[in-house]
Structure formats: C-alpha cells, structure tokens
Amino acid sequence: MDTPIALRIHLTQIFARVFIMFSAKFTDTTHDDSDFASYDSMILGITREEVEAGAIGKALSRLLLLSDQLHWVRKFEGKLSFVFFGYDNDPRELSEIADVKCFMKNLIEEWPYWFHFLDRRGSQISTLLLLYCKVTKVKPVSGAVGFEVENAKEFESMIFKMFEGMNTLHDCYGISEEVNSRISAEIYGALHRMLG
C-alpha cells in the first residue's frame, strides 16, 4: 500500500524521520527489520480491510518486531503512534465503530506493551483506552467530542493490564526502575489530561 502524497508531505513536516508500518510491507518472511533502524518514530498503520476482517495477525507481527529485541524496546520507547486508514469519510468517531473497537481490544489482549511504546505527549493513550472500553458519547464541551467510560472497573482493569504488560517487558529486558518510574509518571500525566 502506498502512502498518499498528502500524508507523506504532512508527516515529513511533523517528524524528522518516521517509519510507517503497513501490513503489505511486513508480510513476507524475508523482512529485515534493519530498514527502520534509522527512524526516530514509528506509526502503526491499520487498514479498514484488516479491521473489517478482524485479522489482527499482521498488525501483531509488526508490533512484535518492536517488543522482541532490546534495541528496539529502548529506541522506540514513547515513539509509537497508531492510525486507521479508510475511515476518513465515516462520520463516526473511531470509538463508536464496533469493528475498530473489537480489532483493538483483540490486539491489546495479544500485545500488552502499549504503555511502554505509545507516544505519551498527545492523545494516543486516551484513544487506546477509549477503543478498549465501552464508552458513551456525551454532549460536546467547547466543540470537542466527549466520551464517558461506562464501566469504571473495566477502565481500571485495562490500565492495570497495560502497566502489568509494561512491567513484564521491563523485567524481561532489565529496564531500570528509574526508566519505569519516568514512563509511569508520563502515563499518569496523560491519564490526568484525559480525565481532566
């Protein structure tokens, strides 16, 4: 799948060096992950076709490239974003689309390392949580679309699961307590921004 020209131009203006992981690029068995060694950030591109098929395998294999080797675990800490392609003309928010929520919930269940890798500066953490949990759209405040989590226990459970996944990854690779504490503080900051 080719990256649309407008997307390439926009991303070049935002990121110095970003690698977009699409399913077409990562399906062959001869793939060598060294082709993204020179990049500073990663974007997991998920297509509508993958979502509608409920096929998380290709997205999961792309994520496993990051979590299966210590040098990628260190290099891409806090540098991963995810985007969905094919929903530009859909008036619903992603968290209102059942197929997207199901896809992400299944992907999160299989790969619990999001809190280590996700970019914590923007809305990636809140988007991940809204896609995992049951939410209700609430009246917009100042023009922004708002959502309310329906089940606080599910929300807490998901956060616990994400911290547990991150801690397991850190234990596996000997990531220091200082790094773990810094990331945890950044995640709590993102959650605080989300919850207001």
Domain edges within the chain: 5-195
Averaged pLDDT for residues 59-65: 92
Proportion of the chain above pLDDT 70, given as a percent: 74
Residue 185: the pLDDT is: 96
pTM exceeds 0.75 for this model: yes
Q: What is the pLDDT of residues 94-141, one digit of tens each?
A: 988 999 999 999 999 999 999 999 999 888 998 898 888 887 766 766
Averaged pLDDT for residues 1-29: 46
Residue 194 pLDDT greater than 70, yes or no: yes
Helix (H) or strand (E) holding 21: strand 18-21
Closest among 135, 132, 137, 129 to 149, alpha carbons compared: 135
- Looking at per-residue pLDDT, the higher value among 17 and 77 belongs to 77
Contact, 36 vs 60, CB < 8 A? no
Which residues, at least 6 apart from 173, have a Cβ–Cβ distance to it below 8 Å? 70, 73
Amino acid at 69: Q
